[in-house]
Amino acid sequence: MLVSSAVDVMDGLLEQFRPCFSRPQFRNFSTYVLGLVACDGRKNVDAINRSFVDAGDQSALNRFLTASPWSLRLLEAKRLAVVRENLHVPEGSTGFFVLDDTINKKTGLHMEEAGYHYDSSEGRAVWGHDLVTTHYINGDVEYPVRLDLYVKKETCLKEGRVFKTRIQLACEQIEAFTPPTGTRTVLVYDSWFFCRQIVEAARARDWDWVTQAESNRIVHYEGQRMNVTELAETLPEKCFKTVNVKDFTLHGIEVWMPKTGNVKLVVSKEKDGFHYYVSNRLDWTDRQVLEAYRVRHTIDVFYRDVKQNLGLEEYQMRKGRGGIIHWHLVFTAYTLLTILRQSISKASNRLGKCLTTLGDICRWVKQQCFRRLVDWLYEKFRHQTKPETIYRTLKI
């Protein structure tokens, strides 16, 4: 159970978003974000609303998500401004801009803008919403940057909307991002996004990039045209150098790729066969290329965390706007928890060491919410409120 006074657990961070909303809208915004963090069980409108002992009808929260006239772009801009004010990175450092997409699996066939999308983890098409997102990592600082919903072409044509591919959505996010002042940016993405448009978008920003290539990717090496697997099989065993991972060897060479140009190809020989990493940085060592690509794992951890702890997939609204608002509020909750965790670490090194994961900080916030509930009960008893009245309020 949560009480409205528990909103102050977020250390005033929510208050920075007040200019984005009217007074009732801000109350619903604060309620929903805190509910995403501290609500037990499913993170949908009904569950979040029922978690607050002094909640009104859930229709207010539902309208806030689906019909209330506030600006999503203003919220996104404010969230990134809050990040810049609170999460600082040193000048001269290198940040990684990670690009990927994730599918929110759903069962409701009448949800707007849902469709069948191929899920590589399951090897089949699944029903749901496909989100193209970007994430920024620089040292200990990391946060989600932007999300866009990919809507299938047939749905766009049916609704008279402009269709955009995942690649187009990704390029727009690359073009829109403003890196911290005085830093260098490396774009990191997987083999699905490895195409001319993404490479050109990175080049236009003067960013370096690193990705993984499929086994049938065509290259030209020493005047011969072949795919990367054929090339790897011709490399002498003595060319591969061991890195600090058992049974893990690398060999990097400069090759020419159609529609990409001269690149560094790092062939990695692992237990399950060859893997291929590609970068525009011809001067990087093999290990630098591999370590840069490994930063991409951060976005996979982010997807897992927000699905497990903040209910990224748990919305139950037919209207497409409701789902989009829910995802943005999940991104907001994650960002605020990241800032909160950093501020706690600065104030208390001992406590900070205990709050190393998103799950840890969520549990800590829940503990503070329970304390607010105890405070609320104490005040009720101090004013001699009858137990029956408290039972009715708590719905027990």
Specify whether the CB–CB gap between 176 and 97 falls below 8 A. no
Q: What is the pLDDT of residue 5?
A: 61
Contact 338, 87 (CB under 8 A): yes
Decide if 210 contacts 278 (C-beta within 8 A).
yes
Q: Where are the beta strands (DSSP E) in the chain?
A: 94-105, 115-119, 124-138, 141-150, 184-189, 208-213, 218-221, 224-227, 241-242, 249-257, 261-270, 273-279
State the pTM of this model. Answer: 0.92
The whole-number pLDDT of residue 6 equals 64
pLDDT of residue 130: 95
Report whether 209 contacts 99 (CB < 8 A): no
Q: What is the pLDDT of residue 327?
A: 96
- How much is the CA Rg of the chain, to the nearest whole Å? 24
Joined together, the tokens standing for residue 139 give: 């040292």
Task: Tell me the CA distances in angstroms from 166 to 215, 276, 358, 373, one per residue in order.
Answer: 22, 23, 28, 45
Closest CA to 322 of 111, 103, 49: 111
Helix (H) or strand (E) holding 339: helix 320-347
- Beta strands per DSSP E along 106-140: 115-119, 124-138
Q: How many residues does the chain have?
A: 396
Residue extents of the structural domains in the chain: 4-72+312-382, 210-288
pLDDT of residue 373: 85
Asked if 320 and 113 touch (Cβ cutoff 8 Å), the reply is yes
pLDDT at 234: 92
pLDDT at 1: 61
> Do the beta carbons of residue 127 and residue 107 sit within 8 Å?
yes
Tens digit of pLDDT at every position of the chain (396 positions): 666 666 677 768 999 999 999 999 999 999 999 999 988 888 889 889 888 877 778 899 999 999 999 999 999 999 999 999 999 999 999 999 999 999 999 888 888 888 999 988 888 999 999 999 999 999 999 999 999 999 999 999 998 999 999 999 999 999 999 999 999 999 999 999 999 999 999 999 999 999 999 999 999 999 999 999 999 999 988 888 887 655 678 999 999 999 999 999 999 988 888 999 999 999 999 999 999 999 999 999 999 999 999 999 988 888 888 999 999 999 999 999 999 998 888 877 777 788 888 999 999 998 888 888 888 888 888 999 888 888 887 777
